[in-house]
Amino acid sequence: MHHPEDPNPTAPEGPAFDDTAFDDTAFDDTVIDLTEPSTDPLTEASRAIEAIVMVATDPIPEQLLAQLVELPVVTVRAICADLANQYLAEGRGFQFVEVAGGWRYQSHPAQAPYVERFALEGQTARLSGAALETLAIVAYKQPISRGQVSAIRGVNADGVLRTLEQRGYICEVGRDDGPGQAILLGTTDIFCERLGLGSPDDLPALGDFVPSAAVVEALEQTLRVDDHPGGDADASADHAAEA
Amino acid sequence: MHHPEDPNPTAPEGPAFDDTAFDDTAFDDTVIDLTEPSTDPLTEASRAIEAIVMVATDPIPEQLLAQLVELPVVTVRAICADLANQYLAEGRGFQFVEVAGGWRYQSHPAQAPYVERFALEGQTARLSGAALETLAIVAYKQPISRGQVSAIRGVNADGVLRTLEQRGYICEVGRDDGPGQAILLGTTDIFCERLGLGSPDDLPALGDFVPSAAVVEALEQTLRVDDHPGGDADASADHAAEA
Amino acid sequence: MSFVDDPPIAADPAAGVATQVDAARPDLVTGDRPASASQGTVQVRTEAFEGPFDLLLHLILKDEVDLYEVNLSTIVDAYLAEVERMDLCDLESATEFLLIAATLVELKCRRLLPVDDSVDLDEELGFWEERDLLLSRLLECKTFKDAAKVFEQLAERAALSAPRRAGMEERFLDLTPDLLSGVKPEMLRRAFLRVASAKPEPTVDLFHVTAVKASVSDAIAEFVRDLPAKGRVTFRTLTSGHTERVEVVVRFLAVLELFKQGMIEIEQPGAFGDLTVEWIAGESDVNDALAGADLYEG
């Protein structure tokens, strides 16, 4: 049984377990360069980042990691991206991802069936269509007041907004300057986590959702003022001239 | 930086690597084909074990892992030992170890100085809003199960509950009579001491409080171990109907 | 305003309207979206249609194959029938639904009637503005609807991964600061109430509005009571005592409803002339008319 040397300096005994069932030659490929393990500050920082993020309960911002390992943020960013790629390349069952403004470990999506089998309790509730639409308005129009959300939706959105607030997806982010000093709402880190976003900036541009020409035309055709049976080019010309 | 091919079969692209602009086709492949998980059952099981242990809050016994990946305990034991050796050989900042009768990830002892620094500097000294709410639910509704807390909060509260438990603010106070025999949680003496309370009964009265539907439902619900898969299936069915 | 407990449209006594609507919206009864929250779903009050834009968009875009065949009359009728079916429980949402109904009805009238050149230009421009506003709001609503679909996909994809939340190992716990320092019992009480309290009852801001009784069925009842004795009467006269726009709108809807059921005859001397209403039905039809309209609670 070949036991690879632990490249972590001052490491105590590794796994409390010797196993003979596995072909020990399998490890030879995976052993990284052990000649100078601890002298490389990048390798050292990489290990420290792995350890820190492993014990964290929330995504850890690069700024905090940079502060803890005493390296520039850009370097930390590169290390994190490299770690993410390493796990990916090795086909790990977990991922290292940037979510809600920080890095975290999470299970790989392909392992979802196993994780679901294991985590039986307290699954996150599905969002209703109304909740998703309201969330979309807040996400793209933030900061936005309750009244403005209701105006866009055409219905009173207070109930849905309150639920979203209770779930922690949106929160008060300021006050309007106007006379009413309306509360302004915005999305939270929990929202980003729920959607798997690094930040709200990662959302697809709202412009991507502008209705297609066919939809616009259908609405215009239906709601046009003049009725010319057949709705031909004349109608549009009249319409244009009149407008 | 190279982008290695993800060897996880049929895996969608992870969010951290999805740095291309969103386009319509990006959402077409959201459904993961689970019919052909892997060519090699051992590799597949190894990934599943990584995923499960990664998201678990407590060490996972080999028996449970064996059940989840549907392989003999001896095979699971060999896989776990192999994983432990892989991380060791790669010089990771974390370890895969067997403690308290189960397997878990933990920070590598060599990285302790960084983890200590993180513990001292990196964490906010205040309870987050979510943690405070979770603690309040346990304080006012004890004894209460993890599942009930999650149901009231609408999001999985296991992580927060574990943190509160680790801090000694809440603890297991009994088991539910129901078939699942869910663990019931309550507040501790430390909690009362820190808040200057003689007992949890000294908490401020709630007044004419009307519980929300979620609270009523969560507290009335018979505790069942299997209530998640059913609920999830319903949600999927609804979703299918909606799509 | 959930439709869960509503009888299917076919059972609705207003069969004249119902048949038409049914044909236009075969998916309404079966429900093209879950009307009730499933187990574990966020307890948002789910409505079959989240507001007038949602309903109108659905009616216009439901069948994308026939986008260019969409008939305004069908849509207006289906819209009005749907509004009629609704249990509009608060004035705020009722008003939105009805104001859009008014715009639609006006649009429909324009199509049916010749253009009157003598019409007040301000009024004309006002109508154009209203129509353009409706169009732009519909487009905005559609934009966010489509964005919401992507949100759902993103959330679904993200849900495939579970975060690690195991936290610090035991030996580091002593190093972490006491999280309860500064926490007061009162903060716990507020946190609990924040997360566990029922939503407040939907309230209508009556600060600037005196309670307006706006019910189509009431208006129908009023007309059924008064019209047979009045003979021919103008719509202006019928609404003379009502200053609130919503009151006029429900009376107009009531007139349309009675017309549809053949209870009354409507005449208009010219475009934008005064509508004249005349009762033509017999006594026996009265009950049908009353049964044909659901309540709008004002």
Q: Is the pLDDT of residue C117 over 90?
A: no
3-class secondary structure, B170: strand
Q: Which portions of chain B are predicted below pLDDT 50?
A: 1-2, 10-37, 222-243
Task: Answer for the pair C224, C286: CB distance below 8 angstroms, yes or no.
Answer: yes
Residue B190 C-alpha, separation from nearest chain A C-alpha, in angstroms = 22
Among partner residues C39, C176, C188, which is closest to B203 by beta-carbon distance?
A: C188
Chain C nearest-CA residue for A239: C128
Tokens at C159, concatenated = 């849900």
Residue B240 near chain C (CB below 8 Å):
no
Span C200-220, average pLDDT: 50
Element at C276 (helix H, strand E): strand C276-279
B161 neighbors C204 (Cβ within 8 angstroms): no
To the nearest whole Å, the CA of C177 is away from the closest chain A CA by 15
pLDDT of residue C221: 80
The DSSP output letter for B121 is I
CA distances from B204 to A19, B197, B216, C22, C282 (A): 57, 10, 21, 56, 67
Mean per-residue pLDDT, C158-187:
83
User: B110 and A8 in contact by Cβ < 8 A?
Assistant: yes
* B119 CB within 8 Å of a chain C CB: yes
Q: Do A205 and B22 touch (CB under 8 A)?
A: yes
**Residues of chain A contacting B71 with CB distance shorter than 8 Å:** none
Lowest mean pLDDT among A60-64, A199-203, C217-221, C261-265: C217-221
Interior CA angle at C261 toward C259 and C262, to 5°?
Answer: 65
Residue that has been written with the tokens 């308005």 in this structure: A137
Q: Which two tokens stand for residue C161?
A: 């991964």
- Identify the residue with better confidence: C3 or C109: C109
> Is B91 in Cβ contact with A7 (below 8 Å)?
yes
> Cβ C34–B120 below 8 Å, yes or no?
no
d(CA B170, CA B157): 13
User: Which of C242, C7, B28, C162 shows the shortest CA–CA distance to A57?
Assistant: C162
Count the residues in chain A.
243
> Which pLDDT belongs to residue A151?
87
Any idea which of B35-39, B57-61, C220-224, C285-289 has the lowest mean pLDDT?
Answer: B35-39
* pLDDT at B7 (0 to 100): 54
Choose the closest CB to C151 out of A95, A136, A153. Answer: A136
CA–CA min distance A161, chain B (Å): 15
Report the candidate in B143, B199, B151 with the shortest Cα–Cα distance to residue B174: B143
Which one is predicted more confidently, A89 or C264? A89
| Residues shown for chain C | 298
Peptide linkage before B41 cis (omega within 30 of 0): no
Nearest to B86 by CA among A11, A44, A79, A15: A15
User: How many other CB atoms are there within 10 angstroms of residue A220's CB atom?
Assistant: 16
Backbone angles phi, psi at C114, to 5 degrees: -65, 150
Q: How far apart are CA C286 and CA A12, in angstroms?
A: 93
> pLDDT category, A72, cuts 50, 70, 90?
very high
Instruction: Say if pTM beats, i.e. exceeds, 0.80.
Output: no
- Amino acid code (one letter) for C241: G
Least CB–CB distance from C40: residue in B119, B162, B231: B231
Q: Residue C283: its pLDDT value, please?
A: 64
Indicate if the pLDDT at residue C28 is higher than 70: no
pLDDT exceeds cutoff 70 at C197: yes
Rg (alpha carbons) of chain A, rounded to whole number:
27
- Do residues A48 and A96 make contact, with C-beta atoms less than 8 angstroms apart? no
Residue whose token pair is 């319409």: A239
Pick the residue of C42, C132, C206 with the most A CBs within 10 A to test the interface with A by mutation: C42
**Mean residue pLDDT across chain A:** 79
Identify which has the larger pLDDT, C262 or A36: C262
Q: Is the pLDDT of residue C268 over 90?
A: no
Lowest mean pLDDT among A102-106, A156-160, B45-49, C288-292: C288-292
User: Could you tell me how many CB contacts below 8 A there are between chain A and chain C?
Assistant: 203
Cα B104–B109–B110 angle (5° rounding)? Answer: 135
Give the CA diameter of chain B: 61
Phi, psi of B216, rounded to the nearest 5 degrees: -60, -45
The per-residue pLDDT for C246 is 63
Q: Looking at the predicted complex, does its ipTM rise above 0.90?
A: no
Strand, helix or coil for residue B66? helix
Helix or strand holding residue B188 (H, E): none
pLDDT at C43 over 50: no
Mutate to test the interface with A, among C44, C124, C169, C199 (most CBs of A within 10 A): C44
> Could you tell me if residue C50 is left (phi over 0), alpha (psi between -120 and 50 degrees) or otherwise beta?
beta
pLDDT tens digit sequence for A131-181: 999 999 999 999 999 989 988 988 888 889 988 988 889 999 999 887 778
Residues of B in contact with A122 (CB under 8 A): 146-147, 149-151, 155-158, 228
Helix (H, G, I), strand (E, B) or coil at C107: helix
pLDDT of residue C263: 83
Q: Provide the shortest C-alpha distance from residue B196 to chain A (in Å).
A: 28
**Residue A40: pLDDT above 50?**
yes
According to the model, what pLDDT value does residue B206 have? Answer: 85
pLDDT per position as a tens digit, C46-97: 345 778 888 888 888 775 445 455 677 788 888 888 877 776 665 666 777 8
Whether the upstream peptide bond of residue B37 has omega within 30° of 0, thus cis, is no
Check whether A228 has a pLDDT greater than 60.
no
Residue C290 identity: L
Taking an 8 Å cut-off on Cβ atoms, the answer to whether B54 and A124 are in contact is no
DSSP conformation letters of chain A: ---PPP-STT----SS----SS-TTHHHHH----SSTTT-HHHHHHHHHHHHHHH-SSPBPHHHHHHHHTS-HHHHHHHHHHHHHHHHHHT-SEEEEEETTEEEEEE-GGGHHHHHHH--S-PPPPPPHHHHHHHHHHHHH-SEEHHHHHHHHTS--HHHHHHHHHTTSEEEEEE-SSTT--EEEEE-HHHHHHHT-SSGGGSPPGGGGSPPHHHHHHHHHHT-SS--TT--HHHHHHHHHH-
Q: How far apart are CA A189 and CA A194, in angstroms?
A: 8
